[in-house]
């Protein structure tokens, strides 16, 4: 697994005391078989590795973030790593990555973090292989001069030091310092840019893409250069991914702000910045047409503090019915922002939007099971109902299937509205 082990040593200028290694976490880097640290296949066979140190200051506190990259690790192997007197371990994914499980959610905080213990326990127990956190971490990483972010990362350390933790920015990552805390706390797959807020990686039969919707949400504050940088990268990335469909047939994309939702406060899905996010305006490129054109299969989002599964939908046209999720004629979007933020959950509008297939305001998170190259299972875990599965759906497609305009035209007049 190429992953980055990311650990933080904190030196607080206020008290001039070194607290030692903490907030240890790992992430995929350029493939599923590379990570970072002092490591070995047993605690008696460790070898020393040298990484890099990044020193940064926020809120008057100096922090030292240390990163080590482990290359070419062996599949299905238990590795141990030691940082000072602390020993950790992780197991790499198998060589035949036809199947695995990912835990996906957004909007999880220190306070009211209803899903936190469940995620920790089930991650340690091997119920999923890695975590995708689609924005809004800690509420907020930068609060109390970054100390709340420190607390959050230390709380999750038992699981994110053991399985990869992939993140993107949400609106709450804006620390009025151009996302300084996110940029300095995490190392994500490289793109050739110095920005870690968008990236992609192939994991088995799925091409995963993480994007920042916050370039759009905070354009007025930071300008639009990052919008164009990300968009130009995305068009090339999806073009390359489509050429590789024979080897990696699925494309799953995650972003913080949703295109579609029917929560009571659903204006956040129709506000000007979200319209620009979807369609573009005044020379700024939107994202939805790129997803449609490139046959993106799955789209995750958070931001709205609820769970909602959509029918396959493209530019407000949706396809529903018993066979809607087999060879879908449009992307399947899943809103999973109910992990537990600092405020209470959101309520749904009295009447769901027509593209809404299932919705719940229970606290929880999504588990995505990649079964093989043609079938993926999505399950919503409810914390309110003792980790019961409250929604599940299989999305499947025949080998070589792409949702195209031609296929949508074929569906018109039948069940595509």
Q: What is the pLDDT of residue 267?
A: 62
Please check whether residue 416 lies inside any domain of the structure.
Answer: no
Please check whether residue 404 lies inside any domain of the structure.
Answer: yes
pLDDT in tens, 154-203: 999 999 999 999 999 999 999 999 999 999 999 999 998 888 899 999 99
Please check whether residue 259 lies inside any domain of the structure.
Answer: yes
How far apart CA 224 and CA 164 sit, in angstroms, is: 31
Q: What is the pLDDT of residue 15?
A: 32
Q: What is the pLDDT of residue 14?
A: 36
How far apart CA 136 and CA 211 sit, in angstroms, is: 14
pLDDT at 407 over 50: yes
User: Are the CB atoms for 304 and 258 separated by under 8 Å?
Assistant: yes
Least confident among 130-144, 258-272, 326-340, 372-386: 258-272
Please check whether residue 417 lies inside any domain of the structure.
Answer: no
Q: What is the pLDDT of residue 414?
A: 61
Domain end residue (candidates: 95, 115, 132): 95
How far apart CA 199 and CA 61 sit, in angstroms, is: 29
CATH code, 321: 3.60.21.10
| pTM over the 0.75 mark | yes
- Residue 66 and residue 79 in one domain: yes
Q: What is the pLDDT of residue 64?
A: 87
- Residue 315 and residue 175 in one domain: yes
- Residue 78 and residue 206 in one domain: no
Name the phi and psi angles at 306, rounded to 5: -160, 175
pLDDT at 12 over 80: no
pLDDT at 42 over 60: no
Least confident among 42-51, 57-66, 315-324, 361-370: 42-51
Domain ranges, residue 44: 1-95
Sheet containing strand 39-40, edge to edge, reads 39-40, 78-83, 86-91
CATH code, 22: 2.60.40
Domain end residue (candidates: 42, 68, 95): 95
Number of domains in the chain: 2
Q: What is the pLDDT of residue 1?
A: 43
pLDDT at 11 over 60: no
User: Are the CB atoms for 48 and 38 separated by under 8 Å?
Assistant: yes
The stretch 138-149 carries a mean pLDDT of: 96
The overall average pLDDT reported for the chain is: 89
Q: What is the pLDDT of residue 10?
A: 43
pLDDT in tens, 235-292: 999 999 999 999 999 999 999 999 999 887 666 677 777 789 999 999 999 999 999 9
Q: Grade residue 232 by pLDDT with cuts at 50, 70 and 90.
A: very high
How far apart CA 139 and CA 88 sit, in angstroms, is: 27
Name the phi and psi angles at 144, rounded to 5: 55, 50
- Residue 198 and residue 112 in one domain: yes
- Residue 82 and residue 155 in one domain: no
pLDDT at 109 over 50: yes
Rounded to 5°, angle at Cα 185 from 183 and 190: 55
116-124 vs 147-160: helix axis angle to the nearest 10? Answer: 30
């Amino acid at each position: 697994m190429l992953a980055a082990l990311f650990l933080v040593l904190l030196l607080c200028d206020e008290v001039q005391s070194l607290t030692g290694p903490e907030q240890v976490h790992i992430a995929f880097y350029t493939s599923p078989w590379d990570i970072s640290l002092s490591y070995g296949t047993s605690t008696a066979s460790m070898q020393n590795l040298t990484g890099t140190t990044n020193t940064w200051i926020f809120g008057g506190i100096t922090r030292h973030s240390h990163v080590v990259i482990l290359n070419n690790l062996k599949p299905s192997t238990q590795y141990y790593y030691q940082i000072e007197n602390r020993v950790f371990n992780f197991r790499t994914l198998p060589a035949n990555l036809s199947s695995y499980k990912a835990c996906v959610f957004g909007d999880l905080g220190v306070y009211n973090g209803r899903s936190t213990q469940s995620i920790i326990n089930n991650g340690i127990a091997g119920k999923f292989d890695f975590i995708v956190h689609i924005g809004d971490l800690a509420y907020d990483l930068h609060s109390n001069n970054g100390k709340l972010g420190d607390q959050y990362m230390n709380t999750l350390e038992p699981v994110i030091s053991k399985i990869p933790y992939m993140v993107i920015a949400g609106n709450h990552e804006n620390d009025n310092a151009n996302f300084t805390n996110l940029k300095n706390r995490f190392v994500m797959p490289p793109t050739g840019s110095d920005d870690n807020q968008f990236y992609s990686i192939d994991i088995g039969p799925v091409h995963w893409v993480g994007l920042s919707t916050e370039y759009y949400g905070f354009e007025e504050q930071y300008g639009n250069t990052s919008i164009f940088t990300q968009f130009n990268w995305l068009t090339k990335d999806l073009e390359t991914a489509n050429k590789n469909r024979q080897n990696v047939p699925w494309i799953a994309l995650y972003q913080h702000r949703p295109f579609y939702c029917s929560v009571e406060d659903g204006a956040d899905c129709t506000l000007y910045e979200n319209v620009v996010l979807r369609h573009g305006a005044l020379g700024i490129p939107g994202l939805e047409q790129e997803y449609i054109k490139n046959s993106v299969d799955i789209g995750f989002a958070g931001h709205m503090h609820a769970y909602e599964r959509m029918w396959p939908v493209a530019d407000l046209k949706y396809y529903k019915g018993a066979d809607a999720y087999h060879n879908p004629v449009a992307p399947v979007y899943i809103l999973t922002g109910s992990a537990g933020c600092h405020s209470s959950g959101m309520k749904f509008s009295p009447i769901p939007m027509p593209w809404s297939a299932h919705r719940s305001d229970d606290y929880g998170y999504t588990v995505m099971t990649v079964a093989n190259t043609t079938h993926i299972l999505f399950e919503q875990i409810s914390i309110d109902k003792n980790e019961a599965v409250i929604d599940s759906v299989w999305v499947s497609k025949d080998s070589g299937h792409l949702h195209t305009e031609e296929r949508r035209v074929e569906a018109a007049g039948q069940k595509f509205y």
